[in-house]
Amino acid sequence: MKSVKVPLNQLNDTRIRLMDMGIMNMEYKIKAEEKFGYVPINNDIEGYEIVDIDLEPIKQHPKSFAELLKDELSEDEIETLRTSFDTIGEIVILEIPDNLEDKKQIIGDAALEFTKRRSVFMKKSAIKGTTRVRDLEFLSGIDDSVTIHKEHGARLKLDVREMYFSPRLATERKRVMESVNDGEKILDMFCGIGPFPIVIARNKNVDITAVDINESAIRYLKENIKMNKLKGSIETYTGDIAVVSNAFKTKFDRIIMNLPGLAYTFLDLAVDLIEEDGIINYYEFSDSYDQGIKRLKNACLKKNKKVEIINTRKVKSTSPGEWHMAIDGKVTSE
Ligand SMILES: C[S@@+](CC[C@H](N)C(=O)[O-])C[C@H]1O[C@@H](n2cnc3c(N)ncnc32)[C@H](O)[C@@H]1O
């Protein structure tokens, strides 16, 4: 392979220069040896030592998403679509702006070819209603909305048409799991198909109570419990947490409250159900942490308790300036 040979300390600058000049051959990998580096090139170039050397070809996707759509859409339009991809198991969910609605089939087919997944759906509404599900329109591949998503070694089966799930919370779930201690009694008030419980119970020896009002989500959670090798245990309840919680015989060392639009309305209940020194993993949509911290503090104050805020995080952006926020509070007696 025709390549430019340069001292190792010049390799990166040379790579950038050759790339800018359009001379670098992008189909082969750069090679770095002890003293020299080699950048593959398409054309001769003066001022460099040119050698012939074996370089490893880069395994390329047959075609990039941009390449597949370059005759149909502008670069900006392609970039917007690319950042809207959510991949859940074998399913790709796309957000297609209104002005590209008439090209949805071409876009869906390109997404199917590019991602090599089984099915492509497009978002037809925002996430809505009590069960936090959005309308989807089938676009390409096989019209099957059931899939198994893999996350941190967990296998999570779900039906994307019937229940909420976001792969964008994977880092948050791992973070919460890592903060859990063996032996904790945990309540997930709004568990969905159980990504928090499954990821935690796979890694920690804990007792988890998982509640959701969506009967289908709990049905899938029960399957997920069987499909994963768990160190801990998960007990499931179907129903409104405000009602189901009347049956609880115990308090909890940790309560997970991932219903960010409405979790604040269940804070009084969470404070009633939390053990002394227990942690509430509270979530809400907001532009700052202040509102959530104030809500946690007020709920504790009403019950003569206080809360120490031990961590805050921006989990993901929901709209410009607004975030899905995480606030972890440790609740103690006054
Ligand atoms: C944003 S989703 C989160 C699901 C899950 N924790 C996750 O991270 O994928 C919120 C869930 O709360 C459930 N939900 C809404 N209101 C509820 C209530 N009053 N009691 C129990 N579950 C409820 C919905 O059905 C939905 O599955």
Tens digit of pLDDT for each residue in 213-260? Answer: 999 999 999 999 999 999 999 999 999 999 999 999 999 999 999 999
| Euclidean distance between CA atoms 86 and 90, whole angstroms | 11
What the block records as the tokens of 138 is 């089938």
Residues 96 and 240 occupy one common structural domain: no
Beta strand residue intervals within the chain, DSSP E: 2-7, 31-32, 36-40, 49-52, 86-88, 91-94, 119-123, 136-141, 146-151, 154-159, 185-188, 207-212, 233-238, 252-257, 274-286, 305-319, 322-333
- Give the structural domain span for 320: 165-333
Q: What is the pLDDT of residues 165-191, one digit of tens each?
A: 999 999 999 999 999 999 999 999 999
Helix (H, G, I), strand (E, B) or coil at 255: strand
Give the amino acid at 58.
I
Residue 312 included in any domain: yes
More confident residue, 78 or 329: 329
Give the amino acid at 72.
E
Residue 287 included in any domain: yes
Residues 173 and 318 occupy one common structural domain: yes
In ligand 1, the atom with minimum distance to the C-alpha of 165 is: 9
Number of independent structural domains in the chain: 3
Residue 260 included in any domain: yes
Q: Is 149 in the pocket of ligand 1 (CB under 6 A)?
A: no
Residues 203 and 239 occupy one common structural domain: yes
Q: Is 204 in the pocket of ligand 1 (CB under 6 A)?
A: no
Residues 107 and 187 occupy one common structural domain: no
DSSP state for residue 313 in the 8-state scheme: E
Q: Is 88 in the pocket of ligand 1 (CB under 6 A)?
A: no
Residues 285 and 177 occupy one common structural domain: yes
Residues 140 and 169 occupy one common structural domain: no
Q: Is 283 in the pocket of ligand 1 (CB under 6 A)?
A: no
Residues 15 and 103 occupy one common structural domain: no
Could you tell me the pLDDT band of residue 42, with boundaries at 50, 70 and 90?
confident
Q: Is 194 in the pocket of ligand 1 (CB under 6 A)?
A: no
In ligand 1, the atom with minimum distance to the C-alpha of 169 is: 8
Residues 191 and 289 occupy one common structural domain: yes
Q: Is 78 in the pocket of ligand 1 (CB under 6 A)?
A: no
pLDDT confidence of residue 26 = 82
Closest CA to 192 of 151, 231, 247: 151
Residue 290 included in any domain: yes
Give the CATH number for residue 186.
3.40.50.150
What is the Cβ-side half-sphere exposure of residue 31, based on CA atoms within 13 angstroms? 18
Last residue of a domain, one of 92, 110, 144: 144
Residues 16 and 140 occupy one common structural domain: no
What is the Å distance from ligand 1's center to 191 Cα?
6
Average pLDDT over the chain reads: 94
Residue 160 included in any domain: no
Residue 234 included in any domain: yes
What is the Å distance from ligand 1's center to 245 Cα?
15
